[in-house]
Structure 1
């Protein structure tokens, strides 16, 4: 089912719900990480998005990265599973977000300049990353910097 979040929100409104996401820490040959300046809140974060019914976390991260960055990626390893986070979206929707994070590398595609989800894409040294938009992304970055893999929170 395409747009699962829209469908479930049509049933429950802005109520607090579980949502499932997959995200990518994309690295380049210099060890820099790709961040996306989001259109919805103007803040930086890792590319990723909501799972649709019938998708795996792997399918989701590859689809979302392509939609938000223009890049095709290959998963290198599981960074972690981040499950104890609450978030209220700019439109007032509330959720406990559960995210499966992968470290990936680019295998093809061309970077987007911008679209409905992305204002800007930029590579940063991990220690020089700008502030990230939510605690999940902050924890993902900290775990990546520290070399932790297979994290669960």
Structure 2
């Protein structure tokens, strides 16, 4: 789904100026231990399935909704792998909108569904091996994507 009414209303008031957004992202692995990435329409850089937390949603509800909308997969949020924020998590979209994310990254398990974006926001979805991760929009630390490292600790940045 494109931006919610809440975020659209904020954008109408502030234009493309910097907007602070609480958000979630998902690390989803397939049976081959590859990680799922998405590429949004009109963007050349990849990202994790992710999005803004909507009013009234818990972070776990938000990540479940976002993953379904962007990929068609039904997932279960299993644990928090990291919490990331600050100036280095700023991004400017191709339309000029500036954001600074505070992101909770969840380890998620596929429960059901078929890989097929439903919201029209995603142009491409693809699984990548840990050693082939594409250039991504948000500069998460590399250890977030190493399965053996992210099973025991939460990364804060």
- Range class of TM-score, shorter chain: 0.7 to 0.9
Cα pair distance change 1:26/1:54, threshold 3 Å: same
Question: Which residue number in structure 1 is paired with residue 49 of structure 2?
Answer: 47
Structure 1 unaligned blocks of 5 or more: none
Aligned residues: 149
Tell me the distance in 2 between the aligned counterparts of 1:75 and 1:89.
Answer: 27
Length-normalised TM-score, structure 2: 0.86
Structure 2 unpaired stretches of 5+? none
Deviations for 1:79-135, whole angstroms, at most 9, x for unmatched residues?
111111211121112222111100111100111167521112111111111221232
Partner of 1:110: 114
8 Å contact kept, 1:80–1:100:
yes
Q: Is 1:79–1:144's contact at 8 Å kept on the other side of the alignment?
A: no
Structure with the larger strand share: 1
Report what 1:64 is aligned to.
66
**Which stretches of structure 1, 4 residues or longer, exceed 3 Å deviation after superposition?**
none
CA RMSD of aligned residues (A): 1.8
TM-score (norm 1): 0.88
Q: In the alignment, what sits opposite 2:144?
A: 143
Structure 2 counterpart of 1:86: 90
> What secondary structure is seen at the aligned counterpart in 1 of 2:85?
strand
